[in-house]
Amino acid sequence: MAKSAAYKKRAHQLRNTGKDVSTFRSDVDFSTHVRMTKTKKEKLQQYQNKYKKHFQQGLRPDGNAFYIA
């Protein structure tokens, strides 16, 4: 398998200066991304607002958005 350019640069620096730059990488043991599941209220609101409310409930008595005049 071919070596990447970054791998070659790290190996070159290790050979010449003796510094292993991979040891300077910060290892984070926890996720900094906040993961939250949606609440029931948020799910219902998303479902209601889906497709920009093309068919709004209650616009006509039978719930039909289209009507023939």
For the four alpha carbons of 58, 63, 64 and 69, in that order, the dihedral sign comes to negative
Residue 4 lies in a domain: no
Q: What would the mean pLDDT of 28-33 be, rounded to a whole number?
A: 75
Q: Tell me: the pLDDT tens digits for 13-28?
A: 999 999 888 888 877 7
Predicted TM-score (pTM) of this structure: 0.37
Residue 27 lies in a domain: no
Burial 10-33 (b: 16+ CB within 10 A, else e): beeeeeeeeeeeeeeeeeeeeeee
8 Å CB contact between 65 and 59: yes
> How many CB atoms are closer than 10 A to CB 45?
12
Across the range 30-47, mean pLDDT stands at: 84
Give the domain extent around 57. Answer: 38-69
Judge whether 32 lies within some domain.
no
- Assess contact for 51 and 43: CB atoms under 8 A: no
Within a domain: residue 56? yes
